[in-house]
Amino acid sequence: MNCIQLLKTTLSCFERSIDQPTVLIINGEIIFSYDSSEDIKYYFYKNESYLKQHTSDITQPTLLQYSLFNWVVFPIKVKTNDFQALLFVSHPYHHDAHHYITCLMETIALIIQTKYREHLLTLEIEQLSEREKQIFFLLLKGYSNKEIAQELILSHHTIKNHINNVFQKLDVKRRSQLIAKFSYLL
């Protein structure tokens, strides 16, 4: 099952739980559940530019009123700043549904992060300095500290400092974690 199918299935299950329509917009791409009505699809496609204009800077749950439809728009937090995911839930909904909404947002965030994992990891690597990137790639190749120092003509102490910085910036504690996290580069 691909990512879009998984998101549609997840939205469908959620809609049945709270008995309200939901729609997901990921970086401008509109994703409907398998159960979405033609009226909902028509509304979103017809008002696409309006929705983009009025949701571009949403950082907290917001009520969006337009025409006959009311939606609560929930931003979904993903680990990168250049990525926007918004969950639209038809309003009003029963207050007991809030737990479902929280769970759905966490599930969607995990699905998105899995789909865009390599992109997110590439962004992590970009935060490294040029020297740290050199050391990072040598670590991935399995070089020891001594071998890295010889390769880059730097002191053993300097290499240790750079490795600590790389580990900190990439949120790993040891070489094995680094290699496991970035194994797609090997």
**Domain map (residue ranges) of the chain:** 3-115, 120-185
Look at residue 30 in the predicted model and tell me its pLDDT: 92
What tokens were used for 130?
Answer: 């040029």
Q: What is the pLDDT of residue 4?
A: 84
> Which one is the CATH code of 120-185: 3.40.50.20, 1.10.10.10, 3.30.1330.40, 1.20.1070.10?
1.10.10.10
Judged against a pLDDT cut of 90, whether residue 74 lies above it is answered with yes
Q: Model confidence at 82, in pLDDT bands (50, 70, 90)?
A: low
Q: How confident is the model at residue 81 (pLDDT cuts 50, 70, 90)?
A: low
Residue 72 near residue 61, CB atoms below 8 Å = yes
Query: Does residue 185 have a pLDDT over 60?
Result: yes
pTM above 0.85, yes or no: no
Stretch 1-24: mean pLDDT, rounded?
A: 88
> What is the fold, at CATH topology level, of the domain defined by 3-115?
Beta-Lactamase (3.30.450)
Q: Which candidate, 18, 58, 26, places its Cα nearest to that of 8? A: 26
For residue 75, give the H/E element and its range.
Answer: strand 69-76
